[in-house]
Amino acid sequence: MSQQPTTVKAGHPSGDNRFKLLDRAITKNHSRGDALIEVLHAAQGIFGFLENDLMVYISRSLKLPLSTVFGVATFYHFFRLKPKGEHTFVLCMGTACYVKGAAGIQKSVEEHCKCKLGETTSDNKISLIQARCVGSCGLAPVAVLDDNVAGKLTPENAVQRIKQWQLATEEVAA
């Protein structure tokens, strides 16, 4: 560690400019170890997910053991260690959505995408994610599709929405 006293200023050896953005977030938090969660939020925002290399970089910058960084990153559901698909389908499994039939939607989208909630389709197009409650209980059942909340879903129109994504990407490819 002693050879790298100025990790923050040196950036990343790969020369990836995104690390400069991350460095800015780290400096803003005064490289304090207790800002680890804020820094991880920033890192995920910049890189999309937390790669091993990224966590090593953060642990050095904040002078924390890698085990601590990895421990925190895996403890919280919000942090992803794998890249997510092009589109995300976040299905709310809160009580209100559950009572109104979220399980049926889950079944239909899982069947359609041929992967379970929490996984990404084999072509890396769509990630199915489950949320505990997005707080739009008045519109239950709800899903968040690429950051847009869609309410009053049915198993049919949920699959329809996913099909639209798939069609759009096929058109682009063609």
Partner 1 sequence: MTLEDLREMAEKEKARQQERKNRIMYCSAAGCNSCGADATKAALAKSLKENGLEGNCEVLGTGCMGLCGEGPLVKLQSDETLYQRVDEAAAKRIVDEHIGRGTKVKENLVDTSAPFFASQQKIVLENCGKINAESIEEYVAVGGYDALAKALTELQPIEVIEEIRKSGLRGRGGAGYPTGLKWGIVHKAKSEQKYVICNADEGDPGAFMDRSVLEGDPHRILEGMAIAGYAIGANQGFIYIRAEYPLAIERLKLAIKQAERLGLLGNRIFESQFNFRIDLRIGAGAFVCGEETALLRSIEGRRGRPRPRPPYPSEKGLWGMPTLINNVETYANIAPIIVRGSAWFASIGTPKSAGTKVFALAGNIKNTGLIEVPMGIPLRKVIFDIGGGTLDGTEFKAAQTGGPSGGCIPKEYLDLPVDYESLATVGSIMGSGGMIVMDSTSNMVEVAKYFMEFCKDESCGKCIPCRVGTVHIHGLLDKISKGKATKDDLALLEELCAMVMKTSLCGLGQNAPNPVISTLRYFHKEYEQVLTEPVIFVSSANGKGESTHS
Contact (CB, 8 A) for 150 and 161: yes
The answer to whether residue 81 forms part of the interface with partner 1 (CB under 8 A) is no
Distances in whole angstroms, Cα of residue 23 to Cα of each of 2, 53, 55, 63, 151: 19, 15, 13, 14, 38
Residues for the chain: how many in total?
174
Helix spans in 29-140 (H): 36-47, 52-61, 66-75, 95-99, 102-113
Terminal-to-terminal C-alpha distance of the chain? 51
Residues 58-77, mask of contacts with partner 1 (x by CB under 8 A): ----------x--xx--xxx
Complex with partner 1: residue 8 or 16, whichever CB lies closer: 8
Among 46, 51, 86, 151, binds partner 1 (CB under 8 A): 151
Contact (CB, 8 A) for 85 and 109: no
Complex with partner 1: residue 34 or 170, whichever CB lies closer: 34
Complex with partner 1: residue 8 or 137, whichever CB lies closer: 137
Complex with partner 1: residue 14 or 95, whichever CB lies closer: 95
| Least distance to partner 1, CB of residue 6, Å | 22
Nearest to 159 by CA among 113, 90, 101: 113
Neighbours of 37 (CB within 10 A): 15
Among 135, 160, 167, 170, binds partner 1 (CB under 8 A): 135
The answer to whether residue 30 forms part of the interface with partner 1 (CB under 8 A) is no
The answer to whether residue 11 forms part of the interface with partner 1 (CB under 8 A) is no
Amino acid (1-letter code) at residue 84: K
Using CB under 8 A, which of the segments 7-15, 141-149, 157-165, 166-174 binds partner 1?
Answer: 141-149
Which residues bind to partner 1, rule: CB under 8 A?
32-38, 40-41, 68, 71-72, 75-79, 93-101, 103-104, 106-107, 116-118, 130-140, 142, 148-151
